[in-house]
Amino acid sequence: MSLTKLDGADTGFAAGAFARPTPGGLGGPARCIGLVLGAGSFRGAAHVGVIRALERQGIPIDLVVGTSAGALAGMMYAAGFTADYMDAALRRLRLEDVFTRTPGQDGFTDMRPLQGIIGSLLGADRRIPSLPRAFACVAADALSGRPVILSDGDVATAVEASMAVPGLVRPVRHEGRLLVDGSVVAPVPVSVARSLGADLVIAVAVDVPRHGQQVARHPAESLTHCFDMAIHQLGELELAQADVVIRPDIARFEQSLDRTGEFLAAGERAGDEAAARLRTQLAVRLATQH
């Protein structure tokens, strides 16, 4: 099982290793840096490359908010796992580590394997507030269509809900609601990070819209392209609210676990390239405090 604790690997985890932002500003009005990790399926591996670059550049992160694949990467980062550890885990990842092998009688698969892995990673206390770094992820209410911010309760349930792809994964029942993948309402949840107190937001966009790349060859592909366009436009509206946007160069790679290494490397390059912009933003924020 690929995401369980790796023998001899440095998880980077230590209880209390990170200061949890305080209520009423998540660290105070002077500076709360939020890292927003967007949806992107297998391309979400690029998030880990970006995180590695931020670690190396010494960029402090107070709050992590993710959607879908970004929820999984963000949860692990908020739990204190290093980018090196996440890299090693992702390179071992198999689909059966995330989804059940065969759909149920209702036609849906589910993410019980991922639930088990998250439990093995975090141990007995799987509550979001227990993570050493502030974390939230976003799902969508399947009935109302409204975004649901998950910043409390069970970590594994929250991540599963944020990743429950409509039409593929069974919606997650949570507190009387049916929740599905958050990408349909907040593919890059910058506004959520702002609402939770981040006053400087770094947003990582790993979606690659398929529309415009080729003419749809059949009705199902046409429908997928239109859905993709809507998600992409939602993401662009969110990205306009970010202070720094990081877009790894991953368009040439197909969605595949076989491309994990390329996604990781592209994310790291993009994170390094963004370092100068991040330092400028930090310097401006610090200067305005005096």
- The burial class, CB within 10 Å (0-12 / 13-18 / 19+), for 58 is exposed
Tens digits of per-residue pLDDT, 147-201? 999 999 999 999 999 999 988 899 999 999 999 999 999 999 999 999 999 999 9
Tokens 């790679």 sit on residue? 253
Would residue 68 show up in a list of annotated catalytic residues for this protein?
yes
Rg of the chain on CA atoms, in Å: 18
Would residue 2 show up in a list of annotated catalytic residues for this protein?
no
CA distance 43 to 183: 14
- The burial class, CB within 10 Å (0-12 / 13-18 / 19+), for 178 is middle
For 47, phi then psi, to 5°, come to: -60, -40
CA distance 146 to 160: 17
pLDDT at 92: 87
SS3 8: coil
SS3 148: strand
Write down the catalytic residue from 62, 154, 181, 207.
181
Write down the catalytic residue from 62, 68, 154, 162.
68
- Using pLDDT thresholds of 50, 70 and 90, give the confidence band for residue 279: confident
Q: What is the pTM of this model?
A: 0.84
CA distance 61 to 41: 23
- Using pLDDT thresholds of 50, 70 and 90, give the confidence band for residue 289: low
Tens digits of per-residue pLDDT, 87-133? 998 888 888 888 887 787 787 888 888 888 898 888 878 899 999 99
Q: Is the pLDDT of residue 218 over 80?
A: no
Answer yes or no: are the C-beta atoms of 145 and 138 closer than 8 Å. Answer: no
